[in-house]
Amino acid sequence: MTDSQDRASSPSTNGPGGGGTPGSGGPSRSPGRRRRSRSSSGKGSSGRSGGSGGGRNSGSKGGSSSANRSRPRNGGRAGGSGADARVAAPVPAVAPRPAAEAPPPDRAPAANDRAAAALSLGAGAVPGAVLGLAAGLIGGIIAGVVVAVVVTVVVAVLVWRGSTGVVVRLVGAREPRPGEDDRLANLTDGLCATFGLRTPALMVVDDPVPNTCSLGRDAGAVMIVTTGLLEDLGLIEMEGVVAHELAHLRRHDGLRAAVATTVLAPLARLTGHDGLLHRALGPGRQFEADQVAVEAVRYPPGLRHALAAMEAGPPPAAGSPFSARRLATTRWLWCDPMVGRRGDASIGDLDDTSVRVASLDLV
């Protein structure tokens, strides 16, 4: 049998009932149907891929939305650690505390320096005017002015620089003997560190009346005490008195006192009146020095006890620096200006020793 007969006798594979593949017992599919099934399967797979892709896309969209929600945290981790993110968080502003007010500056030193300069110039103006007038009559106006200015300045400088030595000689002070002022020197050295001052030169007046004063300023400062003060006061009382005198030096009271005494002592000696000298030194200077001193010592009542001991001291003897005529020239220099004049106190005088004792009772 030929090949064409064999194909004719075999069942048709293209029949509508289907047929199996050659050599198999099952039905067979036509190539066209196979292509359609492959294309439909392709469409189905693409649909599935599209579906799965859509699922993935929708999933990725959901993931991206969740990522967007968590992005600040991721951004914080990207920028640094969690602690850094917390540190970088905004902090509410806090208003700064107002700075404590500084204490007002002490204007007393400058004021006392100006007063001392005015007194020195006043002392030089008198001889300057006299000599300038004489020079003007002889050599003309220009010569007179030049002489007046030069004499005024020279005398003012001499008074400024030499007034302390003049007053030391006026009260009869001397240098201490060896071992005479050891306790005073120790107290003075310690308190000078507290006041920020150079240690003044110590001088002694031989007199049983307990009293003290201070003159000058800076390297030329001098503290004068009587032998009665060294003998009568204890250590605590002495500390208060030394602090009182150092307060004068810190305020430049000593320079003003020395200049005023040098300029006005002759007038006070002639008239016996010391009111002008008191005004030149500045009323209330002893009271103000008391207030400064009690802030610097360890036992503030010590100054009060010292002033009470001065009030109870002996009266001045004849020839003493505290006798009536001599006292008029230096009275307001001393820590106790009422020596021999306890009944002369004027109402409202803050330099009166009894007034100062009463005020220190309140400390």
Q: Report pLDDT digits (tens) over 178-231.
A: 988 899 999 999 999 999 999 999 999 999 999 999 999 988 999 999 999 999
Q: Residue 232: is its pLDDT beyond 80?
A: yes
What is the residue whose two structure tokens read 């106190």?
A: 345
pLDDT of residue 86: 53
- Mean pLDDT for 147-160 is 96
pTM: 0.69
Contacts of 181 (CB under 8 A, 6+ apart): 202, 204, 225, 230
**242 and 193 Cβ atoms separated by less than 8 Å:** no
Residue 272 carries which side chain, given as an amino acid letter?
A: G
**In the predicted model, what is the mean pLDDT of the chain?**
78
Rounded to 5°, the CA angle 181-184-186 comes to 110
pLDDT of residue 133: 94
pLDDT of residue 256: 95
Calpha distance 154→140 (Å, rounded): 21
Domains of the chain: residue spans and CATH: 174-360 (3.30.2010.10)
pLDDT of residue 350: 87
